[in-house]
Amino acid sequence: MQGFDCSGLVYYSHARAGLHAPRTVAEQKSSAIPLRAAELRPGDLVFFDTDYKGGHVGIFVGDGRFIHAPSSGGWVRLDRLDAPYWRRHFSIGGRIPR
């Protein structure tokens, strides 16, 4: 099965916008400018503490929603930050320096 994992979606999306993002969740998180949830703007990253390979990342789109690839080769989908699972695992927001 081909497709994106979460950090691959971020990497690809940033590249399409002419920006550079590191490839892994850990590298994306460490290079991002930290943000609280209230500071997020569309295009910022949202990081989650999960049991999967150092965490999970998505792209904030506004109105409390984010897009992400929940599994390698799975469907890219839109979810809410205030959904019980994501609210419980939210770690920090981040902005990749331009």
Active site residue 56: yes
CA distance 9 to 46: 13
Cα dihedral 71→55→6→48 (10° resolution): 110
Helix (H, G, I), strand (E, B) or coil at 6: helix
* Catalytic annotation present for 68: yes
Positions annotated as catalytic residues are 6, 56, 68
